[in-house]
Amino acid sequence: MNHQNQGDRMNDSRTELAGKVAWVHGAYGAVGLSIAQELVRAGAYVVLSGRNPEALQAATRQAGTPDQAEALALDLSQGQAVYDAADELEARLGRVDILVNSAGVNPSKRHFRDLSIADWKNTVDVNLSGMFYTCQATLKGMRARKDGVIVNISSWTGRYAAYFSGPAYASTKRATLALTEAINL
């Protein structure tokens, strides 16, 4: 039985992911930024992605120093741009070991009676299609190396529909669960 104390485990965690490359989407949101910071603390080199360049730069500075983290502005709804970015990261960094999909949008007029076609499409494009693109783009390298981890962030509304979540967000978060389960089939 290992009786390592908490302080020792915390010190060990700083190198636990040394040499690993993580790519975090939705990185300037609360969840994505927290994950990016923890990955840096664990020793990973982290690429933070999001659509807003200014928010992304601020988040990258919060996550770590330039030798620990970098920003990559990217709109997940643009499939070819996602595939190109993944190829560029693989070529430049040699690998993407950890993929975290935490990007998510929910329109302000989210209730069924108020939901516009444009808002529906944007929510599906970012929350679901973007996740599909990133998984497919990084999984080929992970499978070739026989190593890698994909973390897709859903929501409790993916399992339990609620009026205030709205149909676009709830549908994409439920589909996130199905997509995640289907990746290894």
pLDDT, tens only, 56-108: 999 999 999 999 999 999 999 999 999 999 999 999 999 999 999 999 999 99
pLDDT at 13 over 80: no
Active-site residues, by number, are 169
Q: What is the pLDDT of residue 162?
A: 77
CA distances from residue 157 to 104, 164, 171 in whole angstroms, order as listed: 13, 10, 9
- Among 129, 127, 122, 114, CA closest to 166: 114
What is the model's pTM?
Answer: 0.89
Q: What is the pLDDT of residue 14?
A: 65
Comparing 169 with 159, the larger pLDDT belongs to 169
Q: What is the pLDDT of residue 9?
A: 46
**Looking up tokens 């499409």, which residue turns up?**
121
User: What are the residues whose beta carbons fall under 8 Å from the beta carbon of 23, sequence distance 6 or more?
Assistant: 46, 47, 49, 72, 86, 89, 96, 98, 99, 100, 134, 138
CATH code for 6-182? 3.40.50.720
Q: What is the mean pLDDT of the chain?
A: 91
pLDDT at 1 over 60: no
